[in-house]
């Protein structure tokens, strides 16, 4: 059995369809709904509610720690299920392109992981700068202003943070990834046994983009990382969103690639694409 860890904040109708598609395959779902959302689990229309555990603990703030907190919470709950052998971390705005098979995936870890080097000035700035407000939206003017003042002090007093404690190298990538049970358990065990790691991560801008990659790529599990998370994403501003809300024009690129999932989906904008994906799955 596979487990799907989903974080969501909008469109309960589409979210219900996504979850029902998963549970129809006999797999389980662990769902976290943003506390700021206008809906709760009672607004979902689920065909197999016994296969879905819904949590709604954190109010997700952009660039802060709350989204990663929600994912770690889902990981802890998911690992209590002894029957789940493989896990996928996806968003409530993902579409399933090709339903994954745990047997086919085996021990592989579907994850993009890039080593952070000094010439990656954006990533280095995020590591060096101490985020004073891990529970706030880091885009807010006041948060940005205070963080900038603190960073200026850090540089003048040579107190910039140069690397994550205990790590030979730092790696970055999106949090949306897939891994076997062993890898997910390793991540949680490392996190629990090295509080200095989480202390550093908690005060890092957009910490979720370092958390999984740095633990796994500094471990023997790095040999199981494929380098691709097999998610189709268009990282351009389109259809009013960055990354873009996908539409039917993305269908050729999606079907020509080796993708399991595609994001991000808006039920209205992506309606034509969803119909095409549904038809292709029926004919497969």
Mean pLDDT of all residues in 67-71: 98
Tell me the per-residue pLDDT of 21-63, one tens digit each, with 9 for 90 and over.
999 999 999 999 999 999 999 999 999 999 999 999 999 999 9
pLDDT at 256 over 70: yes
- For the entire predicted model, the pTM comes to 0.95
User: How far, in Å, CA of 89 to CA of 59, rounded?
Assistant: 19
- DSSP symbols for 217-232: HTSGGGGGB-S---EE
**Please, which pLDDT band fits residue 165 given cuts at 50, 70 and 90?**
confident
pLDDT score recorded for residue 191:
96
pLDDT at 283 over 80: no
Mean pLDDT of all residues in 142-149: 93
**Please, which pLDDT band fits residue 14 given cuts at 50, 70 and 90?**
very high
- DSSP symbols for the chain: -EEEEEEE-S-HHHHHHHHHHHHTTT-EEEEEE-TTSS--GGG---S-GGGEEEE------TTSSHHHHHHHHHHHHHTT-TT--EEEEEETTEEESS---HHHHTT-BB---EE--TT-HHHHHHHHS--S-TTS-TTSHHHHHHHHHHHHHHHHTT----S-TT-SS-EE--S--EEEHHHHHHHHHHHHH-HHHHHHHHTSSSTHHHHHHHHHHTSGGGGGB-S---EE---S-BTTBSSPPP-GGGHHHHHHTT-SEEE---TTTTHHHHHHHHHHHHH-
pLDDT score recorded for residue 163:
78
Tell me the per-residue pLDDT of 96-133, one tens digit each, with 9 for 90 and over.
999 999 999 999 999 999 999 999 999 999 999 999 99
pLDDT score recorded for residue 159:
81
Average pLDDT in the chain: 94
pLDDT at 281 over 80: no
pLDDT score recorded for residue 149:
94
pLDDT score recorded for residue 282:
56
pLDDT at 221 over 70: yes
Measured distance between the N- and C-terminal CA atoms of the chain, rounded to whole angstroms: 22
Mean pLDDT of all residues in 183-190: 98
């Amino acid at each position: 059995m596979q487990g799907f860890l989903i974080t969501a904040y909008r469109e309960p109708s589409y979210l219900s369809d996504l979850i029902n598609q998963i549970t129809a395959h006999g797999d389980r779902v662990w769902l976290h709904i943003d506390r700021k959302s206008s809906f709760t689990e009672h607004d979902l229309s689920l065909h197999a509610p016994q296969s879905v555990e819904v949590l709604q603990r954190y109010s997700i703030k952009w660039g802060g720690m709350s989204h990663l907190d929600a994912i770690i919470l889902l990981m802890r709950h998911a690992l209590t299920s002894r029957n789940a052998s493989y896990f996928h971390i996806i968003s409530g705005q993902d579409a399933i392109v090709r339903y994954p098979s745990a047997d086919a995936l085996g021990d592989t870890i579907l994850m993009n992981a890039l080593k952070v080097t000094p010439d990656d000035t954006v990533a280095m700035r995020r590591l060096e700068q101490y985020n004073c407000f891990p529970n706030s939206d880091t885009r807010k003017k006041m948060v940005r202003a205070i963080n900038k003042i603190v960073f200026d002090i850090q540089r003048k007093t040579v107190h910039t943070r140069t690397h994550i404690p205990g790590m030979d190298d730092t790696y970055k990538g999106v949090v949306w990834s897939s891994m076997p049970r062993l890898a997910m358990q390793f991540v949680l065990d490392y996190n629990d046994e090295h509080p200095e790691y989480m202390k550093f991560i908690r005060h890092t801008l957009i910490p979720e983009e370092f958390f999984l990659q740095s633990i796994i790529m500094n471990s023997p599990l790095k040999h199981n990382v494929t380098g691709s998370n097999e998610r189709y994403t268009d990282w351009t501003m389109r259809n009013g969103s960055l990354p873009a809300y996908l539409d039917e024009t993305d269908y050729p690129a999606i079907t020509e690639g080796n993708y399991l999932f595609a994001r991000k989906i808006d039920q209205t904008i992506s309606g034509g694409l969803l119909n095409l994906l549904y038809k292709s799955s029926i004919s497969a």
